[in-house]
Amino acid sequence: MKKSLFIVLAFAALLSSCANDEIGRPVTPEDTPVLLKISDASLSLSVSNLRADPTKTLTTATDKIGLFLSGTNYTALNNVMYTYGSPWTTTTPVYLTKSNASICAYYPYDAAITTSTLPTTILTPKVYAAASDICYQSSQTASSSASSLSFTMVRAFSRIQLTISKAASYPGTGNITSITIAATGLATQNTLNMTSGTYGTATTGGSYNDAAPAIANLTSAVTKDYLMVPSTLTSDITLTFVIDTQTLTGSISKDLLSSALASGKQYQINVNITGSSLVINSVSTTNWTAVSVTGTVTPS
């Protein structure tokens, strides 16, 4: 009887060993895929010596961020959209295992990004629009050992804000039909690899022209905002306005800008129009308003 019981136990142990051999190793809790949770995502400056601006929390159904995931033992996930809600949701659940994954996040979400690898974005100067204001977190390592992830996104562009007014003595109505920003070294195009946070080699065409500023009458100060490709300036910036059919110019010392248009910085320039020129009254530098995202992400 004892001999029979020993044989049964030995056979059971053998079956258990074979079952484990079929999958290579025993399944333990740490091997179980865990649903990715986002605890915090925020937009931040890449510089730290400026004053902090108030935080704006994403709270509407139109607020979306995107993720890219890659790594050994993972199937690459491209441009996975997460939408604001209670909780934040996605139709493509992201699971993390014990293996490390590389995750890149960006904001605002762009459905046009469909590449099979993490996106390399082409940057060009343009009139400011929230949808074009790219912010990103370069790749960070994550696995199931972390209960949640936190993203801190930096801005891809530099920003120029012109506050335009006319002197009391100016005789015209203030119909501005063209604004040109020019400087030696001003970048007109560059690439940004959001996985590594590195820029490529810039095309330095030297100028950007807004051919439709839509300023017909300067009865009061008007603000125009531009997203600019980060640049290293080797000359002063020249502003050229076509106003009431005449061309007026003004100059901004590159020293006031530390010889650069830096990503994450906003350069506020006050321009006063006289009868013969553009007078640059002041130049200041601030950071953009931060945007924070909190909550968890679950499949919808």
Q: Where are the domains of the chain?
A: 29-156+289-299, 158-189+202-287
Contacts by 281-287, CB closer than 8 A, 24 or more apart = 283/252, 283/256, 283/257, 285/50, 285/257, 286/50, 286/51, 286/53, 287/45, 287/47, 287/50, 287/51, 287/52, 287/53
Domains 29-156+289-299 and 158-189+202-287 share a fold: yes
Span 127-173, pLDDT tens digits = 999 889 898 888 889 888 876 777 778 889 999 999 999 998 888 99
pLDDT tens column, 14-59: 334 433 333 333 444 556 788 776 655 565 533 222 233 334 555 6
Tell me the two tokens of residue 188: 């007109």
DSSP for 209-274, please give it. Answer: EES---B---SS-EEEEEEE--EE-SS-EEEEEEETTEEEEEEE-GGGGTTEE-TTEEEEEEEEE-
What type of residue is 245?
Answer: T
Q: Which fold has domain 29-156+289-299?
A: Immunoglobulin-like (2.60.40)
Length of the chain: 300
Please count the CA atoms within 13 angstroms of the CA of 278 that sit on its side-chain side. 28
* Stated pTM of the model: 0.80
| Rounded Cα–Cα distance for residues 212 and 224 (Å) | 11
How many CB atoms sit inside 10 A of residue 171's CB? 8
* Cis peptide bond prior to 87, omega within 30° of 0: yes
Q: What angle is formed at CA 216 by the lines to CA 160 and CA 188, rounded to 5 degrees? A: 30
The reported pLDDT for the residue numbered 128 is 94
| CATH architecture of the domain covering 158-189+202-287 | Sandwich (2.60)
